[in-house]
Amino acid sequence: MNQPLAIDKRKTLLVPQGEFELHRNPRDDSLQAWDAADEFLLQHLHEIQLLTRHGKVLILNDAFGALALALADYPVYSWNDSLLAQQALRDNLLVNGYPVEQVKTNSGIDFPSVAVDNVLIKIPKTQALLEHQLYALRGILHHDSHVIAAGMARHIHHSTLELFESILGPTTTTRAFKKSRLILVERDHSMNEGQSPYPDSYELVVDRRYRIVNHASLFSRDRLDRGSRLLIEHMPVDAGYRRIVDLGCGNGVIGLIAAAMNPGAELTFCDESFMAIASAEANFRAAFAATRRAQFKVGDCLQGIAGLSQDLVLINPPFHQQHSVGDAVAWRMLKDARRVLVDGGELRLVGNRHLGYHAKLKKLFGNCETIASGKKYLVLRALKRADSE
């Protein structure tokens, strides 16, 4: 007698809406592509029977598409600043038999302009992004709209609840479920004062003064972070590099200074965040107007950039994705950097000392040199050699 196949609990989401196979992006089947807050929210929606077949649903910050996939039979629009998250949603739709067009996604930083009936929010990592989103929601909520947010309890603080109450209206929280909570919001339409303070900016002085713009999802909002500062202090100057990439560019400050110190170079800014690329482009245009050429790409690492085409790749790699800590994204960035470098081209990286990038670069490039060393960060240099294939 044939035994039923065992369910892999790490990649099978079981909720009242059905059973779904889910994967992260980058793919890592040792980690779940959802959390207890997703399960709690989907269970709650099932119990209160809130959604209708014609009511528009807007989902914000759905890390790998768990919510949008489970609710894909409804009119769903998913907004996410992360292209990797969008790709995960599309992949998971296909795996579960849906066309990618089943859920509408954004291609920039703007929210949909149509009124929505239900808004489901996963609490983002940066409170600034949540604040910006709550202000944006004011323009698309009608009198019968519902707003429900979900997150792990450790990510929901008193200041989180204060944001909801000061921007949208009265807020209550549920009891905990598997260390997660829901935030239930009653929209008070008399509360319309104020607007999103983002993008904001700060002044940076290196070779001259720059005004650095940051859209809401970016980190280090009021100053240059220490890792980027160390890399800038050890930036190649007039090195003869003609094509330079700022990979994982954030607000583009590293590439901006690289452009200033290498006036003959053409810059390419790459990031998987829509808001990062919008920030980087604004900062580069403000610094150089039309006097310098640059490309700005929202993409998965260096997707779309030809191999053996770049002279220098600069990286301040992330060590987290959403709320999870790991090096999967950074490892992909390093491998893609090696792919696009010309023979003799250089990768220059700043990273936390404890993350072991020295060993990774030696494995990929066959060489690695420490350029600078601080208490917390290292600047490393690796050269692309034809014989290291």
Q: What is the dihedral of CA 100, 129, 155, 141, to 10 degrees?
A: -70
Return per-residue pLDDT of the chain as tens, 389 residues: 444 444 566 789 999 999 999 999 988 888 899 999 999 999 999 999 999 989 999 999 999 999 999 999 999 999 999 999 999 999 999 999 999 999 999 999 999 999 999 999 999 999 999 999 999 999 999 999 999 999 999 999 999 999 999 999 999 999 999 999 999 999 999 999 999 999 999 999 998 999 999 999 998 888 999 999 999 999 999 999 999 999 999 999 999 999 999 999 999 999 999 999 999 999 999 999 989 999 999 999 999 999 999 999 999 998 544 545 456 788 899 999 999 999 999 999 999 988 889 999 999 999 999 999 988 999 999 999 976 55
Per domain, the residue ranges of the chain are: 12-185, 200-388
**Cα separation of 36 and 147, whole Å?**
19
**Cα separation of 264 and 388, whole Å?**
29
Q: Is the backbone of residue 371 left (phi > 0), alpha (psi -120 to 50) or beta?
A: alpha
Alpha-helical segments (H) within 220-325: 226-233, 253-261, 274-288
Q: Which residues contact 191 (CB under 8 A, 6 or more apart)?
A: 166, 167, 168, 169
Tokens of 231: 């890399």
Res 8: pLDDT:
67
283-311 in b/e burial notation, b at 16+ Cβ within 10 A? bbeebbeeebebebbbbbbbeebeeeebb
pLDDT tens sequence across 219-262: 888 899 999 999 999 999 999 999 999 999 999 999 999 999 99
Q: Do 12-185 and 200-388 fold alike per CATH? A: yes
Tokens of 153: 């309890």
Residue 273 backbone phi and psi in degrees, to 5:
-100, 125
* 115, 140 Cβ separation under 8 angstroms: yes
Class of the CATH domain delimited by 200-388: alpha beta
* SS3 of residue 206 by DSSP: coil
| Architecture per CATH, 12-185 | 3-Layer(aba) Sandwich (3.40)
**Cα Dmax for the chain:** 76
User: What letter would DSSP give residue 81?
Assistant: S
* 383, 365 Cβ separation under 8 angstroms: yes
Alpha-carbon distances of 84 from 109, 196, 212, rounded to whole Å: 15, 25, 25
Element (H, E) at 92: helix 83-95
Alpha-helical segments (H) within 193-248: 226-233
pLDDT tens sequence across 102-141: 999 999 999 999 999 999 999 999 999 999 999 999 999 9
pTM of the entire predicted model: 0.93
